[in-house]
């Protein structure tokens, strides 16, 4: 394996967000000999990380690498760091970005690992960063792929995908993250990676509901497959490459989220299927459940791009219209008959896939 030598990696990096994924990314970078400054908004988490090398709320029973230093100061976190990893829930972004703006932060490279859209305009995170910070697209990168934090911190084999309009940045990130248990691919389609990451959470809610209702493997496979079809339809309409949806950020992350006990979205859906209210099911996680906000955002995007998304609509009916999961099954099963391939034709004129 050709991996960049330590002296070619940055000495210092910043990670904003000390939830499960931010902490796991900080640990991963620290193990590659980088000094990591990790921002948490909560003083008690900062103290626990600095004193006990633990983040017991988000990653219990895990000893963090000593190269991690936590702080509640955003300015201290980013000062002098050529790479800033942004790993907070999508809902926290406006607040974080406003804080960064308050000290006229001018970033070198921002790498985000957020799987959601920024409301109220359903912006992809990379677009939002360009609008709000003094940053051009060459300075932004995204991380996607099937990667539960709980497994990554335990050095369990995992793959990721990184993307940036700057090829150098994508390759640098590949080197920064890659190890004998973490295999990192590059993919030039950052639009597709952002969209796939946000939308798979909706499908995981839906698979969870099916499991909560007592349905079997046939239903799970059907929802994942037809879910991927609707993710791809919207993604392609928004400018993504169809190939991304059969890659790690697409079908890879869809599988990891829809079948895993680690997934907060899957578990929330299952509780809904078992009869809990949305509030109860989300509170039971104690962590972010991105699929709820993504469902709202996705419905607006589907309407804007004129894309049919029946599974997302069924999930929305449960989340926001008070429908019982059992009631929406017929919404999906009783639709007009159709063919699987009707959606796609190969255009003979330009040999590119198009949606009809
Ligand atoms: N957990 C995982 O395995 C993975 C998560 N992600 C994505 O990473 C992002 C972050 O997720 P997690 O770390 O899992 O979330 P989490 O729920 O584990 O932690 C969220 C962190 O953000 C903080 N936070 C919440 N609201 C905030 C606000 N308004 N301002 C500042 N900080 C706030 C919380 O205190 C907590 O430290 C999400 O978009 C998620 O989809 C992506 C890949 C894997
Ligand atoms: O994105 C994830 C794994 O790749 C985590 O999914 P959840 O947010 O559903 O836990």
Domain count, the chain: 2
108 located within any domain? yes
**pTM to 2 decimals?**
0.95
Q: What is the pLDDT of residue 342?
A: 53
Indicate whether 202 and 158 sit together in one domain: no
133/250 same-domain check: no
Question: Is 147 marked within a binding site?
Answer: yes
* Number of neighbours of residue 274 by Cβ within 10 angstroms: 15
Ligand 1 pocket member 260 (CB < 6 A): no
- What stretches in the chain show pLDDT beneath 70? 1-7, 342-356
- Residue 257 Cβ inside 6 Å of ligand 2? The answer reads yes
Containing structural domain, residue 108: 9-188
Domain match, 36 and 156 both: yes
Residue 192's pLDDT is what? 98
Residue keyed to tokens 């926001």: 320
Question: Rounded to whole angstroms, what are the CA distances from 335 to 307, 314, 324, 329?
Answer: 16, 12, 18, 10
Our CA dihedral for 121, 124, 125, 128, rounded to 10 degrees, sits at -50
Domain boundary among 145, 161, 188: 188
Q: Are residues 218 and 299 in the same domain?
A: yes
Report pLDDT for 160. 98
**Which pLDDT tens digit goes with each residue over 4-22?**
555 689 999 999 999 999 9
CA of 19 to the centre of ligand 1 (A): 5
Considering the domain boundaries, does residue 345 fall inside one?
no
Question: 280 C-alpha vs ligand 1 centroid, how far in Å?
Answer: 19
3-state SS, the chain, equals CCCCCHHHCCCEEEEECCCHHHHHHHHHHHHCCCEEEEECCCHHHHHHHHHHCCECCCECCCCCCCCEEEECCHHHHHCCCCEEEECCCHHHHHHHHHHHHHCCCCCCEEEECCCCCECCCCECHHHHHHHHCCCCHHHEEEEECCCCHHHHCCCCCEEEEEECCCHHHHHHHHHHHCCCCEEEEECCCHHHHHHHHHHHHHHHHHHHHHHHCCCCHHHHHHHHHHHHHHHHHHHHHCCCCHHHHHCHHHHHHHHHHHCCCCCHHHHHHHHHHCCCCHHHHHHCCCCCCHHHHHHHHHHHHHHHHCCCCHHHHHHHHHHHHCCCHHHHHHHHHCCCCCCCCCCEEECCCCCCEEEC
Query: Are 132 and 172 in the same domain?
Result: yes
- Asked if the bond preceding 120 is cis, omega within 30° of 0, the reply is yes
The CATH number linked to 89 is: 3.40.50.720
Rounded to whole angstroms, the maximal C-alpha distance in the chain is: 64
**159 with 219, same domain?**
no
241 annotated among ligand-binding-site residues = no
Q: Are residues 199 and 317 in the same domain?
A: yes
Q: Which pLDDT score, from 0 to 100, does residue 305 have?
A: 96
> Is there an atom of ligand 2 within 6 Å of 204 CB?
yes
- Report angle CA 280, 282, 284 to the nearest 5 degrees: 70
Q: Are residues 223 and 292 in the same domain?
A: yes
Do 181 and 216 reside in the same domain of the chain?
A: no
Does residue 3 sit within a domain? no
Is the distance from the beta carbon of residue 22 to the nearest atom of ligand 2 less than 6 Å? no
Cβ–Cβ under 8 Å, residues 295 and 117: no
Boundary (domain end) residue, out of 170, 188, 206: 188
Ligand 2 centroid from CA 351, angstroms: 35
10 Å Cβ neighbour count for 239?
Answer: 11
| 132 belongs to the catalytic site | no
- 356 lies in some domain: no
Determine contact, residues 115/107, Cβ cutoff 8 Å. Answer: no
Q: Is the ipTM of this complex over 0.95?
A: yes
Q: Is residue 351 part of a domain?
A: no
Please indicate if the annotation marks 253 as binding a ligand: yes
Catalytic residue among 32, 172, 200, 279: 200
Any idea what the CATH number is for the domain that residue 240 is in?
Answer: 1.10.1040.10
- For residue 147, give the ligand 2 atom closest to its CA: 4
Indicate whether 83 and 31 sit together in one domain. Answer: yes
In-domain check, residue 272: yes
262 in the same domain as 183: no
Does 353 reside within a domain? no
Q: What is the pLDDT of residue 189?
A: 97
pLDDT tens, residue by residue, 52-78: 999 999 999 999 999 999 999 999 999
Give yes or no: residues 248 and 325 share one domain.
Answer: yes
Asked if residue 44 is part of any domain, the answer here is: yes
pLDDT at 6: 56
**Closest ligand to Cα 203:** 2
- Determine the distance separating the centroid of ligand 1 and the alpha carbon of 40, expressed in angstroms: 11
Which of 137, 169, 188 is where one domain is finished?
188
């Amino acid at each position: 394996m050709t991996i960049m030598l330590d002296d070619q990696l940055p000495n210092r990096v910043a990670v904003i967000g000390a939830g499960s994924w931010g902490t796991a990314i900080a640990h991963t970078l620290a193990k590659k000999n980088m000094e990591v400054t990790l921002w948490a908004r909560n003083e008690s988490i900062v103290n626990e990380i600095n004193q006990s090398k633990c983040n017991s709320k988000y990653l219990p029973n895990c000893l963090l690498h000593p190269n991690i230093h936590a702080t509640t100061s955003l300015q201290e976190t980013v000062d002098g760091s050529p790479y800033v990893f942004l790993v907070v829930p999508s809902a926290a972004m406006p607040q974080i970005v406003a804080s960064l703006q308050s000290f006229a932060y001018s970033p070198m490279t921002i790498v985000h690992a957020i799987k959601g859209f920024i409301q109220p305009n359903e912006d992809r995170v990379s677009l939002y960063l360009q609008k709000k910070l003094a940053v051009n697209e060459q300075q932004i990168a995204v991380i996607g792929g099937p990667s539960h934090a709980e497994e990554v911190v335990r050095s369990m084999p995992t793959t990721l995908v990184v993307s940036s309009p700057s090829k150098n940045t994508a390759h640098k990130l590949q080197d920064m993250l890659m190890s004998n248990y973490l295999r990192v691919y590059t993919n030039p389609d950052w639009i597709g990676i952002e969209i796939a990451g946000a939308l798979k959470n909706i499908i995981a809610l839906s698979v969870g509901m099916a499991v909560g209702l007592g349905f079997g493997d046939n239903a799970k496979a059907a929802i994942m497959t037809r879910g991927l079809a609707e993710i791809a339809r919207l993604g392609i309409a928004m400018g993504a490459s169809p190939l991304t949806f059969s890659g790690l950020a697409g079908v890879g992350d869809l599988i990891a989220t829809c079948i895993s006990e680690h997934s907060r979205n899957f578990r929330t859906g299952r509780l809904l299927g078992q009869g809990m209210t949305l509030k109860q099911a989300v509170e039971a996680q104690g962590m972010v459940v991105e699929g709820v906000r993504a469902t709202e955002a996705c419905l607006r995007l589907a309407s804007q791009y004129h894309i049919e998304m029946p599974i997302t609509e069924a999930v929305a009916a449960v989340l926001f219209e008070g429908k019982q999961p059992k009631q929406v099954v017929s919404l999906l099963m009783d639709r007009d008959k159709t063919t699987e391939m009707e959606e796609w034709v190969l255009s003979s004129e330009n040999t590119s896939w198009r949606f009809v």
